[in-house]
Structure 1
Amino acid sequence: MEDTAVEEAEVSGAAEFAPALVAAHPFGHSVAVAVGPDLRVFDLQGGCAVSLSDDSGGPAHSDAIRAITFGAGGDLFASAGDDKLVKVWKTGPWRCIRTITSEKRVSAVAFSNDGLYVAFADKFGVVWLEAAGEDDEGHVSADSKPVSIFGHYCSIITSMKFSPDGRFIATADRDFKIRVTLFPKNPMKGATEIQSFCLGHTEFVSCIAFTRISGGSCFLLSGGGDSAVRLWDHINGCLLDTYDVRDNVGELSEPNETEDSNLAIGNICLTNNNSMVAVAIQSLNGLMLLACDLVAKKLSFLKVIRTEKSYIPTSLASRCWEGLLWTVMGASNMPNQSVSQLLTRVKIIPLAQKDVQASAGHDSAALDDTEVPHGEKLLLALQGSLDGSKQEEVLAAVLAALKVSMHKMLVKKNYSEERREQRKRGRNDKKIKN
């Protein structure tokens, strides 16, 4: 019975959904949204949508983008996903300068702090490294190939981040663990020295983020399917504090909701000079704010910010010193959904300390569409558009998928022996020959 239930859930459509993603330029120059194979960028300085160009000679994205990120300096951007492509973009002219072909589907991507390397993780838990940028003459080496530097032993890597000091690369997986690896001086020869394991989550780890005291110590934050946000001393692998969002389940639930709601952590984002953590929760129409005291090494509840009932954020982004949070809701790979229906919703939430204190209770703190920077131009560029009837239909389907999706994607499935053999025969993960 258990195998049958899981197998039915696997093919229900929501199990394969790909959440919309948002990323903010570290210096506020632009914001990017990805939904399905579609990458949308808005230039916040010029006040216009960006037209992307591709000089890499590689194919465009043809399947769901699963990871996007800006480099620490803001001059590079990467997108990667189910089409086994990693595309590196130069953000000044917004042109793709490198297309890397992965052997497996890609689940996470990150740039080294110096911008010299792009790291990506595939669905088999292997982390690969490739030179990221151009040489002094603006050329990309045609002979460069990605090199595998370490792995998580067939566990899907869900999130990957470089530490602010560039010393470590942290990787989280669906088998409840976080690995912190020393990033070597010659990384193309492999990263074999494990600094620590951060063990404490009792379900999949969905997201990680580094935070630091100004000019001082660095720490790691994580969120997962066990409804917990955890603060770590990643150098020693020590758990410093845990905040369980179920402690405030009364704040999260509407009167007609039950306590059985899926409260998996979907995403976390640092803001307000690392003093505040915004937390997206699987079934919450809005987000939770936690105070992050890095001196006392404590996490504490601040408040719940409610949005409209049809809005559950799938991704969060912010410049850590700026009290402005970008959120997006959307999904692709859903039943009967075409590329023209890749609709997203973008909401911006001001999180300056005075705004948080001033907005009490569950009142929405999101900016009205008329208050969004660059207004309708930005929303049209990042959200896409449909006629009114289709829009409500698509968003309703997205909302239903979001409430059940993450566990179906990341919790390990149990299969009967017969079903396991069927899956082996139908696998399509053969290595791509260049």
Structure 2
Amino acid sequence: MAVARVDRVHIKKGFSVDEAVRCLLEHTLPGKVEQVLLQKAAQRVLAEDFYSPFQMPPFRRAAMDGYALHAAFTQTASPGNPIRLIVTGEVQAGAGEIAWHTGSGSRPLINEQLTAVRIFTGAPVPNGFDAVIRQEEIQSPPSLHGQQSDAATWGMSQIQINQPVQLGKNIAEAGEDIAENSLVIKKGTMLGSKEMAILASFGQEHASVVAQPVVAVIPVGDELLLPGQPLQPNRIYDANGFAVEAFLQEQGASVIRSLPIKDDAKVIAMAIKLAAEQADLVITTGGISVGDYDCVAHAADCLGFEPLFTKVMMRPGPHSSAFINQGKLLISLSGNPGACYTGLVLLVKPIVKHGMGLDGSEAEWKQAILMDDVDKPSPYPRYIRAFVWMEQGEWRVRPLPNDKSGNIAAFAGANALAAIPSEGLQAGRQAAFLSLT
């Protein structure tokens, strides 16, 4: 993920969420193109249009297990007037030619219209045969009462057909799926299982993809412990570091997560400097408010980072900030888990998607009926964790209880963020929501 140069204009400190996202997108460019092995390409973004190098299927092939035959010879078939065909050979998937059912292995001297060839799904349909009848639709003929038949002479079996077979039945014609040089997958497509199947079907050993953004995550706070350490008085475990790492991986980024560091400007500056040398984007959590020990902004300034914005008009997380230095972005999020997660969804996700070559600037906000009053006043719009569901053809959204920015219980039941205007919103009104699933 490359970063554009900052335009040295007056930096507005208080941005709306939309303004903050636009600002970040202006300073973020899609990553470079790289070739990766196909088995490493899943969940990566295709960097260039993929055109079919040959037609698909590449040859006429059977779509069912059954018998290849001549459709015209079956048009008079009925239960009262069945057609009997001699099975002269078989063709398996991957076979180059018919395996004849003769002792010599050569083609029997029988009128071809009176013959059928046992064939299996995916096998090439032999020249001259123009339909395939499913094996479930044929019958073994009754005894011929001692009469000597061509089939018996050659030591071959017969099948009985009681209905006409349509020309081309159960045959996939060459090129009927995809013509040669057709646009099959567009640039900017995330390669999922369907796209991987297409690339593999065309024998692609490698794929051209956008390089994954490398994001460094730095949790900040004297109070932070690593999971696994004994819980100490007045200390908490680092939840944000793991949450941010998992969130970024869900978006397709490559993540470098550091151990929690202390609220010390020199230590923070050293960690940011090291992270910026390894990553396209650096994210800190904690230490960005206005307290005496909130040192991230000072550390960034000491390193020469210029502020893009130092306040976003949203609750939680109004002190979310962004800085830039020598083409590297630094985004600083709140240390409160709810505020940190809100910043990830609203600010970080769009630029990570953009850096991967996806259009991530437009959040997919939808409207739902608000089920409970949200009347707590706020100087800024609030983005609260909520549960949304469909009922009687309409979306409904219910704010989760006790959704304070430092609380974590609401994470378990939340599947959406609901946007509430600063003046609040009454139950029954329409509220915008953003799905988290």
Normalising by the smaller structure, the TM-score range is: under 0.3
Alignment TM-score, normalising by the size of structure 1: 0.23
The structure with higher relative contact order (CA 8 Å, sep 6+) is 2
Question: Which has more radius of gyration?
Answer: 2
Larger % of strand: which? 1
Alignment TM-score, normalising by the size of structure 2: 0.22
